[in-house]
């Protein structure tokens, strides 16, 4: 178990009266001595990864046992957890995990076991070394203990193979800058290991074949760092012309909207100008894109930026913005489509990050945690059945307060046919809104244990099991550094409620499943299921990729990458 994660599966939603709002008190600042201790630990971690780690992975890659031996003190001891006998197999994929049995190792046997992590590979594509936790165990002698993760991937027995090993190492770091240059490891205890292998890759990239590499979209990796943007586009996919192939609409935050027609599942043609989508003027709202059949004629109409277009039999688009009554502003992050009032036509829920000009503007700096007040109200546009919409967000109780909303999904949380709504919010708590069937919603975020203070950025809903109640998988921030640091503080270091929220800033993705014991609440199981430590995560998606009748999970991640030769922040 990684230090700092031990209580991650406890109650994820802090009691409502412990959620801070507005500016946090100055006494919430961490004790200076604790800050210094964290700094020292992170500095040792950096040197362990970037100095020893580089030498260690090079030795593993080149099978240099002499180099490996030089990292260990002469009397170094070790233990190694054994592999379990069972091998899980599905299709061409195999996974073998470890048992709970550990074997003590002599010095020589320990070195052999470590060398064997890579020895059997025919080719090695990558060896990784990361520090998962750190604590000082003896200040006088500068003795530290860390959980470290070693990964090896490559070809083994003709199959693509991946091996992950987690070990607790005890080591001396009197001079962190010298880590790895002389023997310093006192003990190495491998506590967890797993191997995975497969016969063939599961997906093949066809970006160039489909001409998607020729679009006028900006790539942060190809421009100066100061021009980098956190968001650049939104996507919406539908078969707008009913030719049997899915087409792509792209809303860009700073550029032209794009509509791509799928040509027989072989390539895409850009046709936005050809079908009547107008060019964009500078400073217009351009980010939002969503398909919605406004008038139930079977053709998907298109919301693009602050415009809404009627799809005329898949041949052209006609701008109906003014007659629709729809008003889109503040560069929304997305829209969720459903017939929330079950009246036969589709309604639109729009997620906002910032307040409108006529909404109260929050003064002063925004808090990092517990921020339920500096964002903007989300909008619910009720379809009037005559081609026009009416905004009913506040009246229905679905505006999600004034949070910074990233994403929303409709789902059937309870067993009626009125769609409920889950909203993922950044910096504040999330919302689960139960549709009452009378045009209003009840916020059950806290009573259902899904409030999830965790700086959320995305959400997937759907059925991962066969109990008939949907799962909610929320994308949050996670980093190994965050977990290491949180592992060194506790609730005692902060006023009530603050630690729980700060911990949420490296929560990782969370999976909420309706409880068997208490149907009114959800249980959170992401760590036990191995789907928690995704990274700085954005968009999760459920789909049955292998056709076995069970929904699988894909999750995007990665915040800002600039230089592979530099360390990560």
Partner 1 sequence: MTQPLDRTCELPQLGELDSDKGEFWRTNVFQIANSGDNLSAFESNRLFFNAGEGKKFFDVSFDSGVNIDSDSRSVVATDFNNDRKPDLLVASVGGGPLRLFQNTVENDNRFIQFDVEAKAGSNIGTRLIIHTETHAIYRDLFPHNGCMGQAPIDRTVGIPAGVKITSISIRWPDGTTQTVSNNLDAESISIQQK
Q: Considering only residues 97-156, where is the footprint of partner 1 by CB under 8 A?
A: 153
Residue 134's DSSP bridge partners are 146
Work out which of 14, 367, 393, 401 binds partner 1, going by CB under 8 A. Answer: 367
Question: Strand 404-411's sheet: what is its strand order?
Answer: 404-411, 420-426, 431-435, 441-443
Work out which of 237, 312, 356, 491 binds partner 1, going by CB under 8 A. Answer: 237
342 touching partner 1, by CB under 8 A = yes
Nearest-5° Cα angle at 335, 333 to 338 = 160
Closest Cα partner for 501 from 371, 368, 369, 402?
369
Only segment of 5-13, 101-109, 226-234, 276-284 that touches partner 1 (CB under 8 A): 226-234
453 touching partner 1, by CB under 8 A = no
Q: Considering only residues 491-510, where is the footprint of partner 1 by CB under 8 A?
A: 498, 502, 505
**Coil, helix or strand at residue 224:** coil
CA distances to 20, 96, 162, 465, 533 from 93, in Å = 46, 10, 11, 21, 21
Q: Considering only residues 20-49, where is the footprint of partner 1 by CB under 8 A?
A: 23-24, 28-30, 35-36, 38-40, 43, 46-47
566 touching partner 1, by CB under 8 A = yes
398 touching partner 1, by CB under 8 A = no
Nearest-5° Cα angle at 30, 24 to 33 = 165
What is the spatial distance between Cα 31 and Cα 412, in angstroms, rounded to a whole number?
46
556 touching partner 1, by CB under 8 A = yes
Work out which of 107, 354, 412, 446 binds partner 1, going by CB under 8 A. Answer: 412
Query: Can you state the angle between helices 54-61 and 107-119, rounded to 10 degrees?
Result: 70
Q: Considering only residues 414-443, where is the footprint of partner 1 by CB under 8 A?
A: 416-417, 419, 424
What is the spatial distance between Cα 26 and Cα 49, in angstroms, rounded to a whole number?
34
* Closer by beta carbon to partner 1, 106 or else 552: 552
What is the spatial distance between Cα 404 and Cα 376, in angstroms, rounded to a whole number?
6
Work out which of 115, 136, 142, 212 binds partner 1, going by CB under 8 A. Answer: 212
Q: What is the nearest approach in angstroms of partner 1 to the Cβ of residue 347?
A: 10
* Closer by beta carbon to partner 1, 112 or else 198: 198
Work out which of 6, 101, 296, 318 binds partner 1, going by CB under 8 A. Answer: 296
The answer to whether residues 335 and 234 touch, using CB atoms and an 8 Å cutoff, is no
Work out which of 246, 318, 361, 394 binds partner 1, going by CB under 8 A. Answer: 246
Only segment of 113-121, 167-175, 354-362, 481-489 that touches partner 1 (CB under 8 A): 481-489
Q: What is the nearest approach in angstroms of partner 1 to the Cβ of residue 370?
A: 9
Our CA dihedral for 199, 202, 207, 208, rounded to 10 degrees, sits at: 20
Q: Considering only residues 275-294, where is the footprint of partner 1 by CB under 8 A?
A: 289-291, 293
Q: Where are the alpha helices (DSSP H) in 1-89?
A: 32-47, 54-61, 65-69
362 touching partner 1, by CB under 8 A = no
61 touching partner 1, by CB under 8 A = no
Q: What are phi and psi of 511, to 5 degrees?
A: -115, 120
477 touching partner 1, by CB under 8 A = yes
């Amino acid at each position: 178990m990684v230090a700092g994660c031990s209580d991650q599966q406890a109650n994820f939603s802090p009691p409502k009266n412990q959620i801070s709002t507005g500016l946090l008190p100055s006494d919430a600042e961490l004790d200076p001595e604790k800050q210094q201790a964290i700094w020292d630990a992170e500095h040792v971690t950096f040197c362990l990864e970037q100095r020893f780690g580089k030498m260690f992975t090079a030795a593993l890659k080149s099978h240099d046992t002499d180099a490996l031996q030089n990292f260990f003190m002469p009397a170094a001891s070790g233990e190694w957890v054994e592999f379990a006998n069972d091998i899980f197999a599905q299709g061409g994929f195999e996974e073998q995990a470890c048992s709970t049995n550990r074997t003590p190792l002599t010095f020589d046997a320990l070195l052999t076991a470590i060398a064997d992590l890579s020895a059997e590979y025919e080719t090695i594509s990558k060896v990784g070394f990361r520090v998962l936790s750190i604590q000082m165990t003896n200040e006088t002698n500068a003795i530290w203990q860390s959980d470290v993760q070693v990964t090896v991937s490559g070809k083994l027995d003709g199959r693509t193979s991946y091996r992950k090993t987690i070990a607790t190492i005890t080591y001396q770091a009197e001079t962190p800058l010298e880590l790895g240059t002389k023997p310093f490891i006192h003990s190495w205890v491998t506590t967890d290991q797993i191997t995975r292998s497969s016969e063939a890759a599961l997906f093949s990239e066809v970006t160039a074949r489909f001409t998607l590499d020729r679009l006028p979209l900006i790539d942060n990796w190809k421009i100066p760092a100061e021009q980098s943007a956190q968001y650049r586009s939104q996507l919406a996919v539908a078969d707008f012309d009913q030719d049997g192939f899915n087409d792509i609409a792209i809303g860009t935050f700073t550029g032209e909207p794009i509509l791509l027609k799928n040509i027989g599942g072989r390539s895409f043609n850009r046709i936005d100008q050809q079908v009547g989508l107008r060019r964009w003027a500078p400073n217009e709202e351009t980010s939002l894109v969503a398909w919605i059949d406004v008038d139930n004629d079977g053709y998907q109409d298109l919301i693009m930026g602050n415009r809404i277009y009627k799809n005329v039999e898949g041949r052209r688009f006609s701008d109906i913005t003014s007659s629709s009554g729809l008003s889109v502003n503040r560069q929304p992050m997305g829209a969720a489509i459903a017939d929330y009032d079950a009246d036969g036509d589709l309604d639109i829920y729009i997620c906002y990050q910032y307040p409108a000009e006529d909404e109260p503007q929050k003064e002063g700096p925004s808090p990092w945690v517990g921020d339920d007040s500096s964002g903007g109200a989300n909008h619910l546009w009720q379809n009037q059945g005559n081609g026009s919409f009416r905004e009913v967000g506040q009246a229905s109780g679905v505006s999600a307060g004034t949070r910074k909303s990233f994403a929303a999904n409709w789902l059937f949380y309870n067993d009626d046919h009125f769609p409920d709504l889950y909203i993922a919010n950044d910096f504040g708590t999330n919302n689960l809104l139960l549709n009452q069937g009378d045009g209003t919603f009840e916020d059950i975020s806290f009573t259902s244990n899904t409030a999830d203070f965790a700086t959320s950025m995305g959400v997937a809903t759907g059925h991962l099991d066969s109990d008939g109640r949907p799962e909610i998988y929320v994308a949050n921030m996670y980093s190994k550094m965050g977990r290491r640091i949180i592992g060194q503080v506790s609730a005692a270091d902060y006023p009530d409620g603050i630690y729980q929220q700060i911990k949420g800033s490296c929560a990782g993705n969370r999976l909420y499943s309706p409880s068997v014991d208490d149907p009114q609440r959800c249980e959170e199981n992401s760590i036990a299921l191995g789907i928690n430590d995704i990274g700085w995560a954005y968009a999760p998606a459920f789909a049955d990729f292998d056709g076995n009748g069970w929904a699988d999970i894909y999750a995007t991640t990665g915040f800002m990458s600039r230089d592979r030769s530099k360390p990560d922040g």
